[in-house]
Amino acid sequence: MESFWAWFRWLHDATGINLTIFYDSFDRSRFARGFVMTVELSAVCIVLSVLIGIVGAWLQGSRLRLTRHVIYWYIQFFRNTPPLVQLYFFYFGVGSLLTATGVSGSPVPMVSNVTWAIVSLSFFAGAFNVEIFRSGIEAVPGATIEAAESLGFSRLRTYLLIVLPLAFRISMPALNNNLVNLVKTTTLAYAIAVPELLYVSSQIWSDELNVPEMMNALLISYFTLVGFLVYAMHRWERAIRVPGFGV
């Protein structure tokens, strides 16, 4: 391993290509931590946004008009504003209202920037997921739902056992797209100093003045990350495929 890292030092000396993230242990560990942060941020936001999508799509079919209106405006708000503006809105707008008095007497935020990034990005992707699941749900034949009802399934149980599993399969391609988008959008957390991959990279290139190298490293990192997600989703899609059903 040591000789592998050392090779990059040789590469630098020989060609000027300065990949400190390999041969410099300090840069290596901050780049790695940034990568882990991006993976964690992506994973948490994927899970939360899918949950928001499932619950939101369920509430959209609510009998209460107020509930349906709330969901409607939630979607409008998050679809029709830039995600960066949403992030600023949460972090600076809402965040500055949620402060406690610190030990020094000055206000300290109660919610960390990482948490705001998770909240903001999950709601952002969640809004799209609601729409994606909704169209999936609408594609489930009413007759299938009626059959469940005629067998005594309650509305909730019909939703969980019949509608959702079918809607999920129908929604898979669109969901794929949106989750890939979400992973790419986590780079925006840079703007509120969440130490994710882009943020640590910018720190590294400021210190080492190796901008072109870091740009390549970033590109390849995200390409790998998204590639892995696409592969996993594809595997999953295959795993839940039902013989003789739809797509």
Partner 1 sequence: MTATPAVDAEPIVVIDDVHKSFGNVEVLKGVSLSVPKGGVVCIIGPSGSGKSTLLRCINGLVPIDQGSIRVASFDVHQLKTDQEKIALRKEVSIVFQQYNLFPHKTALENVMMAPVHVLKEDREEVRERAVALLRKVGLSAKADVYPGELSGGQQQRVAIARSLAMRPEVMLFDEVTAALDPETVKDVLNTIRELALEGMTCMIVTHEMRFARELADVVYFTDGGVIVESGPPAELFDRPVKERTRAFLSQIL
Interaction of residue 138 with partner 1, rule CB under 8 A:
no
Q: How many CB atoms lie within 10 A of CB 154?
A: 10
Nearer to partner 1, 2 or 63 (CB): 63
Interaction of residue 61 with partner 1, rule CB under 8 A:
no
Contact segment (CB under 8 A) with partner 1 among 75-83, 122-130, 163-171, 183-191 equals 163-171
Binds partner 1 by CB under 8 A, chosen from 103, 104, 106, 244: 244
Instruction: Tell me the CA distances in angstroms from 164 to 22, 75, 92, one per residue in order.
Output: 45, 20, 37
| Torsion angle in degrees (nearest 10) through CA of 228, 231, 236, 239 | -140
- What is the x/- site pattern for partner 1, positions 190-229, by CB under 8 A? ----------------------------------------
Q: Residues 6 or more apart from 1 whose CB is under 8 A from it? A: none
Interaction of residue 239 with partner 1, rule CB under 8 A:
no
Where do runs of H (alpha helix) occur along the chain?
A: 2-15, 20-23, 25-60, 65-79, 83-88, 113-138, 142-150, 155-158, 164-185, 197-208, 211-239
Q: Give the span between the Cα atoms of 28 and 32, in whole angstroms.
A: 6
Interaction of residue 16 with partner 1, rule CB under 8 A:
no
Interaction of residue 237 with partner 1, rule CB under 8 A:
no
Contact 57, 133 (CB under 8 A): yes
Contact 218, 24 (CB under 8 A): no
Interaction of residue 105 with partner 1, rule CB under 8 A:
no
On the 0-12 / 13-18 / 19+ scale of CB atoms within 10 A, 110 is exposed
Contact segment (CB under 8 A) with partner 1 among 92-100, 149-157, 206-214, 226-234 equals 149-157
Q: Give the span between the Cα atoms of 196 and 167, in whole angstroms.
A: 33
Interaction of residue 242 with partner 1, rule CB under 8 A:
yes
Interaction of residue 161 with partner 1, rule CB under 8 A:
yes
Interaction of residue 3 with partner 1, rule CB under 8 A:
no
Nearer to partner 1, 157 or 234 (CB): 157
Total binding residues toward partner 1, as defined by CB under 8 A:
24
In the complex, the residues that contact partner 1 under the rule CB under 8 A are: 141, 143-144, 146-155, 157, 161-162, 165-166, 169, 242-246
